[in-house]
Amino acid sequence: MSDPINLIANWLQGLLLGLGLSVGLTKIILSFVGAVVVATIGMLTVIFLIWLERKIAGRIQDRLGPNRAGPYGLLQPFADVIKILTKEYTTPDGADVVVYNIAPIMAVASVLLIWAVIPFASTVVGTNLNVGVLYIMAVGAFGLLSILMAGLSSNNKFALLGAFRSVAQLISYEIPMVVSLLMPVIFARSMGLVDIVEAQMPWFIILSPLAALIFIIASMAEVNRAPFDLMEAESEIVAGFHIEYSGMKFGMFYVGEFLHVFTVGALVATLFLGGWRGPWAEQYPILGLIYFYIKTFVGYFIVAWVRLTVPRIRIDQMLDFNWKFLTPLSLVLLIITAVLDRVLVLVNSERWVYSLVMFLANILIIWATVEVLKKTTSKPKRKEFPMRPVAMAPETSTSTEPSS
């Protein structure tokens, strides 16, 4: 009774075996059902997320948000879905039709694929891949590819500019992301997400708060949300890479973005916030599922909060922030973590000493970084021009005399 999900799975397995199917085929069917269920839950979560994000946006920006369709505007996303389903597709002249149509599918698929390896509870795991972290990075790269495909195949200059910007941004921020993901791997001595969750005693955000911070910032850039939404900047290049998409094809890019933010929340929860860990989560796996979702929404809320608070940055600021700040910082953090880890293991320190030293080292790095930034922050390179009067007063010699 404590584990309804596995109960259903076992019941289904018994049913299929009872029908006289072979063990191998049963395994395939069960995996298929599991994949469909996980992917469908992901897609359905998005419908709720769109309502939630609009409501949060409303609150943060001091307005109401959707409140007409249904109680608290809860039916708003369904109205949107119906509207978008009955909207006509337009294909631009000269578009590369095959690539143009595959791009939105890939945008969603790339995010859904990450859900295959995330452990939802102690007994509810898609699959415990032993290269989980590497798999996440590899699959995440499909998202970049979908943006590139959309931008290049639309035969539109704005879309092309959006694709160029996405190359500059997404590939840049992948480096601090990859390096910050090394920290949980070092702590857990494994790339499997199940092993990483099981090793979190205490949570890795305590062992390495800086890595978590770098990961969240880099992820925000990866999902191209404000302040990093340069590739779809409305005021500069109208809509960027998805400018020529209409109806459900645009909807898929939209869904992909929301799902990606939620996935980032799930990854933060899994890698840094202890996944399904919590009181009594091991006896009652369903509790672990609830903990996992709560932690995921914490990560989601942080990303949404930053998006609604910070304005968009310029492209040179975006690149500077990555290459001159995040990348060196993450590499330095990696060196210090690796050396400290080896030293602490050599002297056979207790778990709490290990945690304390790691935490203090992170705090020290943050403090040093802030001090260095204070010293070296250059003033904005802007030329000062002398003030020019807007309207010249008439010459005094002529104007002072009163006219007869």
Partner 1 sequence: MDNNWLYIGLFFLVAPLIPALAILAPLFLAPKKPNKIKSQIYECGIETYGETWIQFKVQYYIFALIFLVFDIETVFLYPWAVAYNSLPLFAVFEGVLFIIILLAGLVYVWRKGDLEWV
Shortest Å, Cβ 249 to partner 1:
6
Residue 403 Cα distances to 313, 399, 400, angstroms: 57, 9, 9
Residue 94 Cα distances to 100, 145, 156, 244, 323, angstroms: 11, 20, 9, 12, 37
Shortest Å, Cβ 355 to partner 1:
17
Q: Is 143 in the site for partner 1 (CB under 8 A)?
A: no
Please give the residues from 60 up to 99 whose contact with partner 1 meets the rule CB under 8 A. 84-94
Q: Between 189 and 208, how does the x/- string for binding to partner 1 read (CB under 8 A)?
A: xxx-----------------
Contact 166, 231 (CB under 8 A): yes
Return the number of the residue (67 or 369) whose C-beta is nearest partner 1. 369
Q: What is the torsional sign of CA 204, 132, 120, 214?
A: positive
Shortest Å, Cβ 150 to partner 1:
13
Count, residues near partner 1 per rule CB under 8 A: 88
Interface with partner 1 (CB under 8 A), residue from 16, 52, 121, 179: 179
Q: Is 178 in the site for partner 1 (CB under 8 A)?
A: yes
Q: Is 160 in the site for partner 1 (CB under 8 A)?
A: yes
Beta carbons within 8 Å of 222's beta carbon, 6+ residues apart? 140, 143, 170, 173, 174, 177, 260, 264
Phi, psi for residue 243 in degrees, rounded to 5? -65, -35
Return the number of the residue (13 or 155) whose C-beta is nearest partner 1. 155
Interface with partner 1 (CB under 8 A), residue from 324, 353, 360, 364: 324
Q: Which long-range contacts (CB under 8 A, 24 or more apart) does 9-14 make?
A: 9/34
Contact 163, 119 (CB under 8 A): no
Omega of the bond leading into 77 within 30 degrees of 0 (cis) = no
Q: Between 20 and 39, how does the x/- string for binding to partner 1 read (CB under 8 A)?
A: -------xx--xx-xxx-xx
Interface with partner 1 (CB under 8 A), residue from 3, 53, 232, 244: 244
Interface with partner 1 (CB under 8 A), residue from 147, 193, 196, 255: 255
Return the number of the residue (320 or 371) whose C-beta is nearest partner 1. 320
Return the number of the residue (220 or 239) whose C-beta is nearest partner 1. 239
Cα distance between residue 64 and residue 158, in whole Å: 33
Q: Is 357 in the site for partner 1 (CB under 8 A)?
A: no
Return the number of the residue (75 or 178) whose C-beta is nearest partner 1. 178
Contact 233, 312 (CB under 8 A): yes
Burial 69-99 (b: 16+ CB within 10 A, else e): eeeebeebbeebeeebeeeeeeebeebeeeb
Q: Which stretch binds partner 1 (CB under 8 A): 123-131, 226-234, 281-289, 353-361?
A: 123-131
